[in-house]
Every structure is written in C-alpha cells, then in structure tokens.
Amino acid sequence: MRTGEEQFREWYNRKSRLPLAVNGHSFVFENDTTIRVDGGRFIYEEAHQLARMLNSRNPFAQINANITIWERNGVLRLMVLALIAIILVAVIALTRR
C-alpha cells in the first residue's frame, strides 16, 4: 500500500491535470511551479509538506495543515471577522442591559 507522500510524488511527477484528493482537500496543478489546494496557492515544497501533514497520524499536524490551507484561501480571515462580529454583538447586548 502506498503512503500519501508517495501518491503525492507520483501525482506531481506525472503532471496530472486531474486533482489529487488528500483527506478531503483537493490538490490541483495551476502551472509548473504552483499547486492550488482548495483554492489557495502553494509552491511544490509547501504542497508536499501539506500532503505529508494531512496524512500524518498526529492530530496537531493535521490541524496545522488545515489552518495553513484556510489562511491561504481566505477562509481563516472570514472566520476571524465572524468571531469579531459575534463578540461585538455580545458586548453591545451586554452593555444595553
């Protein structure tokens, strides 16, 4: 059975235009130097490290990979803005009592 790292290397070396799925994330070639992971742009070394972290048994490595992907594709920014909005609404509601 091949590891996720071996699958990633084979996929990259074949320059496949088909996406590679790694634990619910989609790796797609954009050009020779850029790989898109769920819409965020990564260079080969970064994408390779993400694939390794996503296939890791260590839950902290998987969480770190997810946060990195979210940061690159803009989801993390939206999550932070939503959290700020929720806190702001809560503070306003508490001060009006």
**Three-class DSSP labels, the chain:** CCCHHHHHHHHHHHCCCCCEEECCEEEEECCCCEEEECCEEEEHHHHHHHHHHHCCCCHHHHHHHHHHHHHHHCHHHHHHHHHHHHHHHHHHHHHCC
Q: Which residue(s) pair with 16 in the sheet?
A: none
- Helix axis angle for 59-73 and 44-54, nearest 10°, is 140
pLDDT in tens, 3-45: 678 888 899 998 888 999 998 999 999 888 899 999 999 999 9
Within 10 angstroms of residue 46's Cβ, the number of other Cβ atoms is: 16
Domain boundaries defined on the chain: 4-95
Please say if the pLDDT value at position 2 is more than 80.
no
Residue 54 pLDDT > 60: yes
